Structure 1
Amino acid sequence: MIRAHAKTLALIVGVLLVPLILAGCARNEDSGETRIFEIENTEEVFGKKDEDHVTVRKHYMILNPPEDLTELKELVEKYGKEHPVEGKIEAAAGKTRFFHMYFYRESADLPRDWQPDEGYLSTDRMEHHKNDLIAAVDWSDADPQKEYSSYEKSKEGKIVKRMRFVEDQLVG
Structure 2
Amino acid sequence: MLDLNYILSSDYYKKELERIDRDNSVEQGLYFIIQSLLRSTIEEKYWVTDISTRSKKHIGFSKSVPDLTILEDGKTLFNPIAVAEIKYFPWSKKEYLTNNERQVKSYLKQVDKVIYTNGIEWIFLYGKGGSLERKESICLGNDRNTPESYYECINKKKLLSQIHWKNESDFKVSWDDLICKLGAFLK
When normalised by structure 1's length, the TM-score is 0.32
Q: Name the structure where strand makes up a greater proportion of residues.
A: 1
Larger Rg: 1
When normalised by structure 2's length, the TM-score is 0.30
Q: Name the structure where helix makes up a greater proportion of residues.
A: 2
